[in-house]
């Protein structure tokens, strides 16, 4: 056997050996202190062209429970066993289900798998039971570098405990378009320098505790009006604007040593010679700006290749076009096998050189080496409950949620009066099917503090009869408290409350003392100037509901400040401050 193949075999067999136990949370190092003695060049030279390509393909897998003989799991195993994919993008599931699934797939893979996940603002959006932090804009409202760092630290510890290595976080977009349907609270704010400062802090928190960080969406998705999941978004920024706004946080990310950067499926015709094509397939953006101008040396990852912003125009060739533009990782293609075949055909016809292919594969293998995956690739299931959602992390999330609350206005002093008068409250909620429990914690907390509370829940499917019933209930109480969830949702294509809900809030605010609490989109008050009291809680979960209830009852301070401007008159840094007497 040739020595290079023997070397590859020895390393692969070693990597498949028994997993060492995972310790409870403790500071890890990135890169690890003791890196595996792996010869990346020898590994690379032993791979076939097709296996090199496969190392760059990262398909999506569900995180939910699967029996190992289910069809869905069999398909995942085929990607690992037959296609030899280089990694996986794992979605929502319980920590134990995610870890068990990943362990099984890692054990079957010849080379370690690089496991990624969208862990924006913590693991809770993917791991049931993960620590529920405010979204990035809520962290921006605290203005605290330490909060951003702790968000990264805890995300890293919880994510690595279940076998995730690469967090597609932080979002480095500057959200300066209130109508942006997909970024919104996912951004730290609208000031590029503040965003860059918090982005760098979260990256340090992630990478100093063993998790690769992936800043997104390059070169900036904040000033767009289209959800790129559905169609191609367009930014009209010229170079001066791009350089002074959108690129600022990415420069901060690179200076902080970010391991990867994700592309955006947005067109920049004033930068890209008038072309309406996604930056994901534009060489002058991914290579010219990101690599050459900004000097980024890490992994360039595409946004999901099955999204309408790139798939509508390029279909199965999207991966080839992105690779030629400068991408390394081809994320979530519609069909991994077809993506590999398309890349292999491009190599065969000379469109992709072996040198270019090797450059990207070497980056991937080097990241796996730095993560220590050739030493340990699986996790120990019984250690997970000592890490994910532990009390220390939950306490930090509660404190952060309390600091993030912004009181935009309290004209007439309705919020200030709640502490003294303890009036009866009508609590009217509006949320989608994912928010069935919305208002429950808040009502319980307010009742415990002496407020009689009546609750009525409205949904997207609610009709006139439901709205009439809500109005009847509100007429019987002293103060109305509206709690709404409006948030950026992929494939929805818009933000904002429905007209019937806006009308109900507007009518109520004219008739009686009314408080509006947004548990998401902060811009709602622009369409509701009649509302005298407006608070932003940023995210719908029990932790935030508890924090808002305590703030309303006057038990805790309100110290958050807007990280964005809210038309027509609220500027960044604004916030009615209230101290605890």
For the residues of 105-129, what is the DSSP string, one character each?
Answer: HHHH-SS--EEEE--TTSGGGTBTT
pLDDT in tens, 144-188: 999 999 999 999 999 999 999 999 999 999 999 999 999 999 999
Residue with tokens 């060049």: 41
* Domains of the chain and CATH, by start: 3-22+36-386 (3.20.20.300), 405-552 (3.40.50.1700)
| Contact in structure between 563 and 396 (CB atoms under 8 Å) | no
Q: What is the pLDDT of residue 420?
A: 86
Q: What is the pLDDT of residues 254-280, one digit of tens each?
A: 999 999 999 999 999 999 999 999 999
pLDDT at 68 (0 to 100): 95
Distance CA 198, CA 205 (A): 11
- Contact predicate 332/305, CB 8 Å: yes
- Measured CA to CA, the distance from residue 102 to residue 581 in angstroms comes to 51
- For residue 470, pLDDT beyond 80: yes
Q: Give me the pLDDT at residue 493, please.
A: 76
Question: Residues for the chain: how many in total?
Answer: 581
Q: Which of residues 295 and 23 earns the better pLDDT score?
A: 295
> What pLDDT is recorded for position 473?
96
CA dist list (Å): 558 to 186, 536, 577: 22, 11, 6
**Distance from C-alpha of 115 to C-alpha of 32, rounded to nearest angstrom:** 17
pLDDT of amino acid 34 = 46
Q: In which residue are the tokens 């862990």 written? A: 119
Spatial separation of the C-alpha atoms in residues 339 and 326, rounded to whole Å: 16
Q: What is the DSSP letter of 185?
A: G
Distances (CA, A) of 501 to 184, 218, 486, 504, 566: 20, 35, 11, 5, 20
The model's pLDDT over 281-320, given as tens digits with 9 standing for 90+, comes to 999 999 999 999 999 999 999 999 999 999 999 999 999 9
Assess whether pLDDT exceeds 80 at residue 17: no
- Three-state SS string over 243-304 comes to HHHHHHHHHHHHHCCCCEEEECCEECCCCCCCCCCCHHHCHHHHHHHHHHHCCCCCEEECCC
Arithmetic mean of pLDDT, 471-481: 96
pLDDT at residue 123 greater than cutoff 60? yes
Place of tokens 């590999």: 340
Residue 141 above 70 pLDDT? yes
* Owner of token pair 């950026």: 488
pLDDT digits (tens, 9 = 90+) for 511-538: 999 999 999 999 999 999 999 999 999 9
| Bridge partner residues of 213 (DSSP) | 167
Q: Output the pLDDT for position 333.
A: 97
The catalytic residue among 303, 328, 410, 486 is 303
pLDDT value of residue 435: 85
Residue 22 has pLDDT above 90, yes or no: no
Active site residue 382: no
């Amino acid at each position: 056997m040739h020595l290079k193949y023997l070397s590859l075999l020895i390393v692969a067999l070693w990597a498949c050996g028994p997993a060492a136990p995972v310790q409870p949370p403790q500071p890890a190092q990135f890169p690890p202190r003791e890196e595996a003695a792996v010869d990346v060049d020898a590994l690379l030279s032993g791979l076939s062209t097709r296996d090199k390509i496969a190392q760059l393909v990262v398909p999506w897998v569900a995180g939910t429970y699967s029996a190992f003989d289910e069809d869905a799991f069999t398909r995942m195993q085929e990607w690992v066993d037959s296609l030899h994919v280089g990694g996986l993008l794992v979605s929502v599931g319980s920590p134990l289900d995610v870890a068990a699934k990943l362990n099984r797939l890692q054990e079957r893979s010849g080379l370690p798998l690089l496991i990624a996940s969208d862990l924006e603002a913590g693991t809770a959006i993917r791991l049931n039971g993960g620590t529920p932090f405010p979204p990035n804009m809520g962290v921006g409202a605290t203005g605290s570098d330490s909060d951003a760092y702790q968000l990264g630290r805890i995300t890293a510890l919880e994510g690595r405990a279940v076998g995730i290595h690469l967090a597609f976080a932080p979002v480095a977009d500057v959200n300066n378009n209130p109508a942006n349907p997909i970024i919104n609270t996912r951004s730290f704010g609208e000031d590029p320098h503040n965003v860059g400062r918090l982005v760098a802090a979260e990256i340090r928190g992630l990478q100093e505790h063993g998790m690769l960080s992936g800043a997104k969406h390059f070169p900036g998705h904040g000033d767009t009006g289209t959800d790129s999941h559905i169609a191609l978004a367009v930014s009209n920024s010229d170079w001066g604007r791009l350089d002074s706004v959108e690129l600022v946080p990415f420069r901060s990310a690179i200076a902080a040593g970010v391991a990867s950067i994700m592309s955006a499926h947005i067109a920049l015709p004033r930068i890209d010679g008038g072309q309406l094509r996604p930056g994901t397939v534009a060489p002058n953006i991914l290579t010219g700006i990101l690599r050459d101008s900004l000097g980024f040396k890490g992994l360039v990852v595409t946004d999901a290749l099955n999204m309408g912003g790139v798939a509508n125009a390029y279909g199965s060739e999207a991966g080839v076009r992105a690779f030629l533009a400068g991408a390394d990782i081809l994320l979530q293609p519609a069909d991994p096998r077809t993506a590999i075949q398309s890349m292999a055909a491009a190599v065969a016809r000379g469109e992709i050189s072996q040198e270019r292919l090797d450059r990207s594969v070497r980056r991937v293998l080097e990241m796996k080496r730095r993560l220590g995956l050739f030493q340990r690739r699986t996790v120990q299931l019984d250690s997970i409950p000592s890490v994910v959602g532990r009390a220390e992390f939950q306490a930090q999330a509660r404190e952060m949620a309390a600091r993030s609350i912004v009181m935009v206005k309290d004209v007439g002093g309705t919020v200030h009066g709640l502490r003294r008068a303890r009036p009866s409250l009508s609590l009217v909620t509006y949320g989608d099917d994912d928010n069935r429990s919305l208002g429950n914690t808040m009502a319980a907390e307010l009742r415990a503090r002496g407020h009689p509370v009546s609750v009525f829940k409205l949904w997207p499917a609610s009709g006139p009869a439901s709205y009439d019933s809500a109005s009847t209930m509100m007429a019987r109480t002293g103060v109305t408290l509206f709690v709404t969830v409006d948030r950026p949702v992929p494939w929805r294509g818009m933000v904002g409350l429905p007209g019937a809900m806006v009308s109900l809030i507007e009518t109520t605010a004219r008739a009686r003392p009314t408080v509006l609490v947004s548990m998401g989109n902060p811009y709602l008050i622009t369409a509701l100037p009649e509302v005298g009291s407006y608070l932003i809680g940023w995210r719908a979960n029990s932790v935030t509901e508890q924090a808002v209830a305590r703030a309303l009852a006057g038990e805790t301070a309100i110290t958050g400040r807007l990280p964005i401007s809210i038309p027509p008159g609220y500027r960044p840094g604004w916030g009615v401050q209230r101290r605890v007497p």
